[in-house]
Structure 1
Amino acid sequence: MRLLLLALLWTLCTGTVQAGAWPREKGHGFLSSAVRLSWPQNIDHWTSLSPTQQYYTAYLEYGLTDRVTLGFDFGRSVSGSGKTVGFLQWPLRNKDKGPKIAFALGLGRIGEQTVLRPGVSLGWGLKKGWLTMDALAEFQTNTGLADYKMDITWGRNLAKDRKLIVQIQTGQPADDPGFVRLAPSFVTPLGKRGVMIETGATYGLTGDTSMGLKFGIWKNF
């Protein structure tokens, strides 16, 4: 799986050329925060109703120019360690027809390690939604070890500004087996200030025996 993700990342980097596929406009931004709770899929392994894992994430994007987006990613990495990563992203292909493609380069900390994080994003605007593929690698600068991650996301715009999202999450930590996880969610507006609430679930398909819930909040500004 590691070789598959690395091959995909290499193909995208040497192909048509793009961080979040759609760049942020200058002076505009996006902020999100979420909590994820998980339990074993096998209920016989439960010792209480309390989640066996819980973690929090925060994510920020801001358009420095119409082409360059500044971002910060806080939370938990593919390996499970805490992370703080800052990054810059810019479009490689930003035409009206065909895929949007963006490249991002980040630097930060995961656990006790300094990491360099290149990534690519592809995005297609659909008639009533969107489709994206996001791949990244997190290289430890002192050991050379790397974690790989790729998410495929399908989104559908619904009435009253609501959204349905289905995501396939895949990862290959440096020291653990790879995993594939299904993560559907539903997004709905909260009031009239552009705040969105996301509620969803996660279920490990392979390499992950957990299931969980996700609660998040979005804000465009």
Structure 2
Amino acid sequence: MRRMILSLCLAALAWTPATAGPWPREEGRGFAALAWRGGAQAAGAYTSFYLDYGLGPRLTLGLDAGRARDGGGKAILFIQRAGTAGRFRQSWQLGLGARNRAAVLTPGLSLGLGFGDARRSGWLTADAVAPIGADGATDLKLDLTAGLSHPDGRKSILQLQSGRMGDDLPFAKLEASVALPLGRRTSLTLGAFRGLGDNDERGVAIGLWQRF
């Protein structure tokens, strides 16, 4: 049972980039994120790399890649188109690549709401993806995120990660992190996560954000 839970959580980490969310990247601008997540179980360590670049007013091109210590991993190239839905921002995403050396198609939908003023602002997002394997098997992943931007440039983020792989039981995990500015375009990210319900996984996350 413990090994099954670990494999589910490892899959969840493999699905979780520093997503663009429903807001498109500005044309000609880009964002890259490198992160490592690990816990008490050495096999659960995972390194991820995320990159996106604004192609136009509504289009963003990106790469979502990662590799686990046990050799599993993914590399998915995606295109995202953003729009509006009343007060909310929305985007549709379609990715194509490989996960654990098997082809995968990843349609996704994001919804977001920004709030705040000139001193302090925040955002709420819901990001859903449904990876489809070559055999037609479909997984589900839903991340709910709340973020707050502070006057000194820090960002506080709380995220609920949940999903279901095939016929396995659903899983959920809570991760809290902070992004600390190292310069005008670079931030250090520090966080901690733990499983909810029967999932007893817990660990830390460290990474770098770079805007260009």
Give the TM-score of the pair, scaled to structure 1. Answer: 0.80
Displacement of 1:52: 4.5
**Conservation of the 8 A alpha-carbon contact between 1:117 and 1:136:** yes
Q: Relative contact order, CA 8 A, sep 6+: which one is greater?
A: 1
Task: State the identity as a percent.
Answer: 41
In our comparison, the structure showing a higher alpha carbon Rg is 1
Residues 1:183 and 2:183 aligned together: no
Displacement of 1:119: 0.1
Partner of 1:101: 90
Tell me the alpha carbon deviations over residues 43-67 of structure 1, each in whole angstroms, 9 at most, x when there is no partner: xxxxxxxx44211000011011121
Partner of 2:74: 83
**Conservation of the 8 A alpha-carbon contact between 1:194 and 1:219:** yes
In structure 1, the gaps of 5 or more residues are 1-18, 41-50
Q: CA–CA distance in 2 between the matches of 1:219 and 1:57?
A: 14
Partner of 1:209: 200
CA RMSD, 1 decimal: 1.8
Partner of 1:30: 31
Displacement of 1:206: 2.7
Give the 4+ runs in structure 1 shifted more than 4 A. Answer: none
Partner of 2:126: 133
**Conservation of the 8 A alpha-carbon contact between 2:58 and 2:83:** no
State the aligned residue count: 187
Pairing of 1:15-94 with structure 2 (within 5 A): 20-39=21-40, 51-75=42-66, 81-93=72-84
Q: Which amino acid aligns with 2:109?
A: V
Q: CA–CA distance in 2 between the matches of 1:76 and 1:84?
A: 9
Q: Which amino acid aligns with 2:35?
A: A
Q: CA–CA distance in 1 between the matches of 2:67 and 2:147?
A: 24
Tell me the alpha carbon deviations over residues 159-203 of structure 1, each in whole angstroms, 9 at most, x when there is no partner: 31001110000011125322110000011101x241001100010
Displacement of 1:117: 0.5
**Conservation of the 8 A alpha-carbon contact between 2:74 and 2:101:** no
Partner of 2:188: 197
Displacement of 1:144: 0.7
Q: CA–CA distance in 2 between the matches of 1:64 and 1:92?
A: 15
